[in-house]
Amino acid sequence: MDMAENFLAHQDYPSIEPNAFDIIVYGTGLPESLLAAAAAAAAGKTVLHLDHNPFYGSHFASLPLPSFSSFLQSVFRSPPKSFSDLSASTSPYDVFELESRRVYSEVEFATSQPPEPSRSFILDLCGPRVVYCADMAVDLMLRSGASHHVEFKSVDGSLIYWDGRLCSVPDSRQAIFRDKSLALAEKSQMMKFLKMVQGHIASGSAAGAGAGAGAGAPEERFVRMSPQDLETPFAEFLQKQHLPPKIRTIILYAIALADYDQDCEGSCGNLMKTKEGLERISLYISSLGRLPNAVGAFIYPIYGHGELPQAFCRCAAVKGALYVLRMPVSAVLLDKVSNQYKGVRLASGQEIFSQHLVMESSFTVQSSVSSLLDNQDFHYSKHSRMVARGVCITNSSIHTDSSNILLIFPPRSLLPEQSVTVRALQLCSNVSTCPSGMFVVYLSTQCHDATVGKECIRAAMEALFRLPDSSSSEEIFSSDNENAGVSKPNLLWSVVYIQELAQASIGSIHSSPMPDGNVDYQNLLETTTKLFSKMYPEAEFLPPNKASENADEDGSQSD
């Protein structure tokens, strides 16, 4: 392509005015959208929000099935080079091209033809994922007004894979007494443990309210656990409570949502401390009953998780942020003398300037720029950790009494080499992501080895579904007698793939987090909040706005 043809090709890109902003955000995933909304609303900054994709959400998007498949199969390619008639010698800036990393790998489709109508399936790139009813994400939506742009449905409950069966997770007094798989002694032990945890939580609340509050009433004196107990491994603490193995497993992996095997002997990393375990149980308990139409602790956004970044993008746009999709950033600009970040060069050739740049972490600056920015606290970490993910479409529910269900496969429950929890989320048509009579099931597990991760995902699929090439008539045996002998759903379509986990941050150029291996947004939101505080330490992250202060919490969160 000669210079004239190159120039004409870039006429499709719009010119952006003005050409200077306080912050440029590249990518419209949830972290980037939160940062854009916080910068525009809380810090009062001018924001330019760009995305090279034709849709919002980046790696947090929810896409029609054909687009979802194409996105995973897209060939790795670097961002397009920009057109510019300025020679390097006359430009006051050093120009460093962006480099693109392939985030998804080892994509395997079990069947080539998806069920029709294929565009009626809206699939999450970051699944399985849910939102706690008492999550920080819910509070941020209420405070910012984003809750007006998204609706939720309740997740009916949780199941755990125990001894080759799917068993209900008893997470409340009523659920414990209804559970037919627990012996009377087990029910009593679990009730006693949950009561102890609630007493510990209440003691912290009472201490915060004042030493004299409630001090005279015996029933209001709560026992707080010792600092020594709080620093011990949570699995060890549960053993000291003489809880049976099944109850310990439910608490560790289905309620506290531990990732890695907590019962490994000797030195083992990733052990959850009792303090963290109790905090997670506290979040779970506080989520139960918080929203009137939520059956359990979790909710799921109608039309998929891609609605969340779009909701925050709308909040940012209301506050003046400028949005341009289909606009690639081809390079970053550094001052030739000071080596300080100055702005970006777009694929159109236009140069836009800002004080800060936030990019989704699938894009990085040329490796050679790191030596120039050593004095700016350059950090780039490419972790060996990955997430193995799977998406399945079936024609019937895994459980006869529930449609939207979170399923937990504890470590070692599927394969001897399974050292990490496998999680699955089944969704039905009432969340508007699949046609009536169909179900979408998301699976994921964190891994250091892609082969092992994919084997664990396949083992979970074999435990849940009748595969297309299998003539087996195996059945799922639920913990409830009335559900025993339910046939496995037929697997109509599936894909298994690996997603890389990576994060980076440098001086005035920041890289936002990718979707992690968690089922909730807690860690991701904490990381995003810290990133915002680093850029704008004087500003509050998404403080309540006037429109949301009087919002009806009950009506805006679940349906």
Tens of pLDDT, residue by residue over 39-49, are 998 788 999 99
Phi and psi angles of residue 45, each rounded to the nearest 5 degrees, phi first: -95, 155
The separation between CA 359 and the C-alpha centre of its own chain, rounded to angstroms, equals 18
Q: Flag whether pLDDT at 182 surpasses 50.
A: yes
Q: What confidence tier does 90 reach under pLDDT thresholds 50, 70, 90? A: low
Backbone angles phi and psi of 210, in degrees to 5: 130, 140
Binned at pLDDT 50, 70 and 90, residue 501 comes out as confident
What is the distance between the alpha carbons of residues 221 and 484, in angstroms, rounded to a whole number?
44
Band the pLDDT of 217: cuts 50, 70, 90: very low
Report the number of secondary-structure helices (H) and strands (E) in the chain: 16, 24
Burial class of residue 437 in the structure, from the number of CB atoms within 10 Å of its CB (0-12 exposed, 13-18 middle, 19+ buried): exposed
E strand or H helix at 234: helix 234-240
Residue 174 has pLDDT above 50, yes or no: yes
* Its pTM surpasses 0.85: yes
Question: Residue 82: is its pLDDT beyond 70?
Answer: no
Name the nearest CA neighbour of 332 among 375, 377, 373, 374: 373
Instruction: Quote the CA–CA distance of 527 and 359 in Å, as a whole number.
Output: 14
Predicted confidence at residue 380, as pLDDT, reads 44
Domains observed in the chain:
3-101+303-383+503-541 (3.50.50.60), 172-206+226-287 (1.10.405.10)
In the 3-class helix/strand/coil scheme, how is 467-493 assigned residue by residue?
CCCCCCCCEECECCHHHCCEECCEEEE
Q: What is the pLDDT of residues 378-427, one digit of tens each?
A: 344 445 689 999 999 999 999 887 899 999 999 999 999 999 999 999 99
**Residue whose C-alpha is closest to residue 491's, from 396, 388, 404:** 396
Beta bridge partners of 504: 380
Q: What pLDDT is recorded for position 224?
A: 74
Q: Which residues pair with 495 in a beta bridge?
A: 109, 391
Compute the distance between CA of residue 489 and CA of residue 495 in angstroms, rounded to an integer. 16
Q: What is the DSSP string of 78-120?
A: PPPPPP----TTT-SEEEEEEEE---EEEEEES-SSPPSSGGG
In 375-395, which positions are buried (b, 16+ CB within 10 angstroms) versus exposed (e)? eeebeeeeeeebbbbbbbbbe
The radius of gyration computed from the CA coordinates of the chain, to the nearest angstrom, equals: 25
Distance CA 507, CA 347 (A): 24
- Residue 459: the pLDDT is 97
C-alpha to C-alpha distances, 175 to 48, 257, 299, nearest whole angstrom: 49, 18, 18
Average pLDDT, the chain: 84
d(CA 440, CA 285): 27
Residue 546 predicted with pLDDT over 70: no
Distances (CA, A) of 207 to 222, 229, 283, 293: 10, 19, 19, 32
Return the HEC string of 383-428. EEEEEEEEEEEECCCCCCCCCCEEEEECCCCCCCCCCECEEEEEEC
